[in-house]
Amino acid sequence: MRDEIVKKYEQYLKAELNLADSTVEIYTGEVELFSRFTEKLNKSIIEADTIDIENYLIGRKQGIIRAEELSTDYSVSVSDASDANDKEVLKSSTINKYTSSIRSFFRFLQLEDLREDNPARFVQTSRREKKLPDFLDIDDIDLLLGSINTKTPAGLRDRALFELIYSCGLRISEACTLKCGNIFSNDSVIKITGKGNKSRIVPEGDAAEYWIKKYMSEARPLMLKKRKNDFVFLNNRGTGISRKGVWKRFKELSSSCGIESRVHTLRHSFATHLLTGGADLRSVQELLGHADISTTQIYTHLTRDDLHAYHRKYHPEGKAAGGNA
């Protein structure tokens, strides 16, 4: 019964809400974990109440309940929420995503007439801390990309992959799901399928175009191993590379260069370098595939130092104002 409900919920997320595969994976995985939690309470997931949900989320936040295995030590009371921050393991944004997953599931149960109310409706989400995006300067980007050994098929793939992510500002999932038919070399553009299956066209960039062509002609046929696969970037088994595979490879590369960074930082760097170079916010929004320009505006603060420098250099009162500050 449990597995059947989760499968129907998965179909609902895909067919009715048209969510990206990565989001569907997170939502269904969290509901499955919550279902195992309620089983330990001798309840079915349909019978769960608000207190059960709050206890579960507190356990997730404090690391008592993990995705790898459901700990038997789940006896967390709502009163423990007062000191949850002292034991916090997961970020508030991550817990909010898990809360949304469960809230969406009970909304689905209501639509299926399996539940009259939504016990997750009044579960409060954590206030998200405003963290500024990390980015690498151009010298670090050059160091990182230049350190890749392109004498091996995997090395050529890595160079093409990370050049493309940086040159086009791609999400990791967008790079992993890029297909050969969506590279238009004659026009130097690629077609990206982003969140919500929304498509956008982005310029490829000279460096990315060079390494993509080299990878496609020299390395990809060797990695394909006579298989048939439409994905551009392959793993050593000749199938599409996974997000975890990309994360792992980037971590190895950045560590070898002495750079503490995540692969998503390449996307942040793309946006930051464009804005610093004078690109307008609306254009950067389109290139990143942001539905709301307010999401793109988080990058504008990163250019404030440059704006102050320009003001001091070119405005008649700039130096005077700076000197009196």
Pick from 210, 208, 240: nearest CA to 223: 240
Cβ(56)–Cβ(37) below 8 Å: yes
Q: Cα 92 to chain center, whole Å?
A: 15
Residue 308 annotated among the catalytic residues of the structure: no
pLDDT (0 to 100) of residue 80? 39
What average pLDDT does the segment 248-270 reach? Answer: 91
Say how far apart CA 221 and CA 234 lie, in whole Å.
10
User: Which sequence spans correspond to the domains of the chain?
Assistant: 2-111, 138-306
Catalytic position from the list 171, 249, 268, 273: 171
Query: Would you say residue 295 has pLDDT above 60?
Result: yes
pLDDT tens-digit map of 100-116: 999 999 999 999 999 99
CATH of 138-306, one of 1.10.10.10, 1.10.15.40, 1.10.443.10, 1.20.120.1230: 1.10.443.10
pLDDT of residue 92: 76
Catalytic choice (12, 56, 166, 299): 299
Radius of gyration for the chain, computed over Cα atoms and rounded to the nearest angstrom:
23
Cα 238 from Cα 227, distance rounded (Å): 7
Q: Enter the tokens of residue 299.
A: 């990058």
> Active-site residue among 191, 251, 262, 290?
290
Residue 22 banded pLDDT, cuts 50, 70, 90: confident
290 has catalytic annotation: yes
Rounded Cα gap, residues 266 and 169, in angstroms: 7
Structure confidence at residue 76 as a pLDDT band (50, 70, 90): very low
What mean pLDDT comes out for the span 277-298? 87
Comparison of pLDDT for 305 and 269, the residue scoring more? 269
Q: Is the pLDDT at 199 greater than 70, yes or no? A: yes
Higher pLDDT, 70 or 39: 39
What does the pLDDT read at residue 318? 56
Q: Which one of 97, 195, 214, 243 is the catalytic residue?
A: 195
Instruction: Flag whether pLDDT at 255 surpasses 50.
Output: yes
Give the pLDDT score at 314: 59
Give the residue, 12 or 63, on which the prediction is more confident: 12
* pLDDT surpasses 60 at 319: no
Structure tokens at 236: 């050593």
Cβ-proximal residues to 319 (8 Å cutoff; 6+ apart), any chain: 312
On average, the pLDDT of the chain sits at: 83
Q: What is the DSSP letter of 218?
A: I
Closest CA to 172 of 286, 250, 91, 237: 250
The reply to whether 195 belongs to the active site is yes
Query: 296: which 2 tokens?
Result: 């793109």
Give the model's pLDDT for residue 309.
59
Of 43, 264, 311, 312, the active-site residue reads 264
Tell me the pLDDT tens digit for each residue of 86-96. Answer: 444 567 778 88
* Token pair of 40 as six digits: 């330990």
Backbone φ and ψ for 87, nearest 5 degrees, come out as: -110, 10
Question: Which of these is catalytic: 60, 220, 249, 267?
Answer: 267
CB of 323 closer than 8 Å to CB of 308: no
pLDDT at site 233 = 97
**Quick one: average pLDDT of 56-85?**
57
Dmax over Cα atoms in the chain, in whole Å?
74
The DSSP secondary structure of 266-303, one letter per residue, reads HHHHHHHHHHHTT--HHHHHHHHT-SSHHHHGGGGGGG
Q: What percent of the chain has pLDDT over 70?
A: 82
Assess whether 227 carries a catalytic annotation: no
Q: Quote the distance between the C-alpha of residue 88 and its chain's center.
A: 21
Report, as an integer, the average pLDDT of 159-186.
95
